[in-house]
């Protein structure tokens, strides 16, 4: 499942998957290294005002074994779901490894989610145990309806409140000896919630093989990782597929130390400081973060950087950012593409000569990717269609959690369809055109409009609402809401701010409409579905007009 070579066509044509009968992500990312080279460094915590804290694979094995035993004492068993609401931390990794070794299913949840968003995901996944910190405890306390499946809440901070168990206490009492549960590649291991075009988010269920499926893509955009001196970092939340599956788990499996800490909020100056002090060689940096880093003056002369590779994905990179990195950092950014359901299937690789401005790369070895029409028939080169991945594929999800209909609708014939429009040129490069669904791509986070609209309508002043993405030069898209008010309410700037704050409070600190426009009516189809296309086109026209005004 590893790639090597000097010619892309040879690498692609000779690649073969090696899928074992038994495979466990926790063992593959921790125990194998701990048993072979116990003191090898797995994780490094950056402390801006002090010395870095290093954790070996043996440290990680012992800690995850203790937590696995503690979970067993609480009744956690194979197939049970563990919710993880934590920032990047040693405890976060421990929770993942322990869950996989226990045969459980990890459910990572973004710490920015507010109570309503957490409640839906915890209830849908049937989470029985949640691990969080004091901030997470406060949000869980706001959940109004009882979570009937939830049996225990564990807090990693001292002085846990509201009846939560102390992570430190239960781990101290536990043994560091644990025998991992035997699992197969298709054994369920992970649920990552992804947003759909309508309704509430869906849980993409992955098997342990998702780690195997990611390795060729990671090795491609990080140019044959692991190499001597490799050390990885990403500002992306480990609760998202990008942070967890593009960096954390694959790097641990490959024996590459992962840096974390020191950045509660993204700060471009601190990001350069972290990369310099920690000698980061390999970074996954989403395009929005890279655009913010462009504002830092003369980074190469101010910071002693050790960068070997930068991978970027989740949204369009843009030529300006690519050129900036090449000029200022001496790095050619390798752009890649994937979805939560089937990640890292297209990639660039400068070392293999697979690099073209404006393209998102070529198919990663081991993956069959094509452009198909509405009937699932591959399109000829140069014709626009939908990006699709052939089934089966090791990186592909097992299905949406307890949603057979949505899973079925994700496939046409042998293809898993993405909803993303693209063109494949005569050289085999894929060029992203746009989405044919309603997903809002806010700074690399895929946000479903249905969840935002439900939250908007919960405000007493809102009768109907539509949420769309409006093109934005920094964030790729911002959320714009079109609202029909209830009788008795008048539009005003203060009401607009109140509604925005309402969504921000109930959804997440970064997921709320930055623009609100009051309208008299919302057009719908004969079946009662909102015609979002009308509003997307209006928002796009507004953005283009604004950009034109800036130019002249």
Q: Is residue 355 a part of any domain in this protein?
A: no
Rounded to whole angstroms, the Cα distance separating 131 from 238 reads 14
Rounded to whole angstroms, the Cα distance separating 6 from 174 reads 49
Q: Which of 174, 207, 240 represents a domain boundary (last residue)?
A: 207
User: Distance between the two ends of the chain, CA-based, in angstroms?
Assistant: 52
pLDDT at position 130 is 98
What residues contact 545, with CB distance under 8 A and at least 6 apart? Answer: none
SS3 149: coil
Is 360 buried (19+), middle (13-18) or exposed (0-12) by CB count in 10 A? buried
pLDDT at position 529 is 56
pLDDT at position 327 is 94
Strand positions, DSSP E, 455-520: 462-472, 476-485, 515-518
Q: Is residue 174 a part of any domain in this protein?
A: yes
Q: Is residue 392 reached through a cis peptide bond, with omega within 30 degrees of 0 on the bond before it?
A: yes
Q: Which of 152, 174, 207 represents a domain boundary (last residue)?
A: 207
Q: Is residue 508 a part of any domain in this protein?
A: yes
Rounded to whole angstroms, the Cα distance separating 96 from 191 reads 12
Q: Is residue 93 a part of any domain in this protein?
A: yes
Q: Which of 161, 177, 207 represents a domain boundary (last residue)?
A: 207
Enumerate residue ranges in the chain where pLDDT < 50.
196-198, 526-528
pLDDT at position 79 is 98
Q: Looking at the 3D structure of the chain, how many domains does it have?
A: 2
Tokens of 356: 């073209």
- By DSSP bridging, strand 385-390 and strand 369-372 are antiparallel
Rounded to whole angstroms, the Cα distance separating 520 from 524 reads 13
319-326 — which CB contacts under 8 Å span 24+ positions? Answer: 319/357, 319/358, 320/294, 321/287, 321/290, 321/291, 321/294, 322/357, 324/290, 324/294, 325/290
Tokens 């209006």 sit on residue: 538
Q: Is residue 113 a part of any domain in this protein?
A: yes
Q: Is residue 411 a part of any domain in this protein?
A: no
| C-alpha distances out from residue 365 to 98, 164, 361, 451, Å | 31, 46, 12, 36
CB atoms within 10 A of CB 428: 15
What is the CATH number for 546? Answer: 3.30.300.30
State the alpha helices, DSSP H only, in 351-481: 404-409, 449-457
Q: Is residue 462 a part of any domain in this protein?
A: yes
Q: 120 and 109 in contact (C-beta within 8 Å)?
A: no
pLDDT at position 457 is 84
- By DSSP bridging, strand 462-472 and strand 476-485 are antiparallel
pLDDT at position 244 is 97
pLDDT at position 24 is 98
Range of the domain at 149: 24-207
Rounded to whole angstroms, the Cα distance separating 277 from 274 reads 5
What is the CATH number for 181? Answer: 3.40.50.12780
pLDDT at position 552 is 52
SS3 103: coil
Q: Is residue 71 a part of any domain in this protein?
A: yes
pLDDT at position 56 is 98
Is 202 buried (19+), middle (13-18) or exposed (0-12) by CB count in 10 A? buried
SS3 209: helix
Q: 137 and 143 in contact (C-beta within 8 Å)?
A: no
pLDDT at position 194 is 85
pLDDT at position 197 is 44
Is 310 buried (19+), middle (13-18) or exposed (0-12) by CB count in 10 A? buried
Helix or strand holding residue 219 (H, E) = helix 209-221
């Amino acid at each position: 499942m590893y790639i090597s070579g000097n010619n892309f066509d040879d690498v692609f044509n000779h690649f073969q998957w090696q899928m074992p009968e038994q495979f466990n992500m926790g063992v593959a990312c921790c125990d194998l290294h701990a048993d072979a080279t116990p003191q090898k460094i797995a994780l490094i915590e950056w402390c801006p005002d002090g010395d870095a804290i290093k954790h070996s694979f043996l440290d990680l094995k012992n800690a995850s074994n203790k937590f696995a035993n503690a979970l067993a004492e609480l009744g956690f068993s194979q197939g049970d779901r563990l919710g993880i609401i934590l920032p990047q931390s040693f405890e976060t990794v421990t929770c993942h490894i322990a869950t996989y070794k226990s045969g459980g299913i990890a459910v990572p949840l973004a710490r920015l989610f507010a109570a309503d968003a957490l409640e839906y995901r915890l209830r849908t996944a049937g989470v029985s145990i949640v691990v969080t910190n004091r901030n997470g405890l406060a949000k869980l306390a706001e959940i109004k309806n009882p979570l009937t499946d939830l049996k225990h809440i564990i807090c990693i901070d001292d002085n846990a409140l509201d009846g939560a168990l102390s992570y430190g206490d239960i781990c101290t009492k536990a043994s560091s000896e644990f025998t991992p549960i035997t699992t197969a590649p298709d054994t369920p291991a992970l649920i990552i919630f992804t947003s759909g075009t309508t309704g509430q988010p869906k849980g993409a269920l992955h098997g342990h093989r998702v780690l195997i499926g990611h390795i060729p893509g990671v090795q491609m955009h990080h140019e044959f990782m692991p190499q001597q001196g490799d050390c990885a970092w990403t500002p992306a939340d480990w609760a998202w597929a990008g942070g967890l599956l593009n960096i954390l788990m694959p790097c641990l499996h490959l024996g590459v130390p992962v840096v974390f800490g020191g950045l509660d909020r993204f700060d471009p100056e601190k990001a350069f400081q972290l990369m310099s002090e920690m000698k980061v060689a390999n970074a996954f940096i989403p395009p929005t973060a890279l655009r913010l880093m462009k504002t830092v003056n003369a980074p190469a002369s101010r910071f002693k950087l050790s960068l070997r590779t930068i991978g970027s994905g989740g949204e369009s990179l843009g030529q300006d950012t690519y050129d900036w990195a090449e000029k200022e950092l001496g790095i050619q950014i390798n752009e890649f593409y994937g979805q939560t359901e089937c990640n890292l299937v297209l990639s660039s690789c400068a070392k293999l000569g697979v690099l073209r401005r404006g393209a998102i790369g070529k198919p990663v070895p081991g993956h069959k990717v094509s452009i198909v029409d509405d009937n699932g028939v591959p399109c000829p080169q140069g014709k626009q269609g939908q990006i699709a991945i052939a089934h089966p594929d090791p990186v592909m999800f097992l299905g949406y959690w307890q949603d057979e209909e949505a899973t079925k609708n994700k496939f046409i014939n042998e293809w898993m369809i993405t909803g993303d429009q693209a063109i494949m040129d005569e050289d085999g490069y894929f060029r992203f055109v746009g989405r044919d669904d309603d997903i809002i791509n806010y700074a690399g986070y895929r946000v479903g409009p249905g969840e935002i609209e439900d939250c908007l309508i919960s405000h007493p002043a809102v009768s109907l609402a539509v949420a769309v993405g409006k093109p934005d030069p920094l964030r790729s898209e911002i959320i714009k809401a079109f609202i029909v008010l209830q009788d008795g309410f008048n539009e005003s700037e203060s009401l607009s701010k109140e509604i925005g704050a309402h969504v921000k409070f109930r959804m997440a600190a970064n997921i709320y409409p930055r623009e609100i426009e009051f309208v008299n009516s919302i057009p719908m189809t004969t079946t009662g579905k909102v015609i979002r296309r009308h509003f997307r086109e209006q928002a796009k026209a507004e953005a283009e007009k604004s950009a034109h005004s800036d130019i002249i």
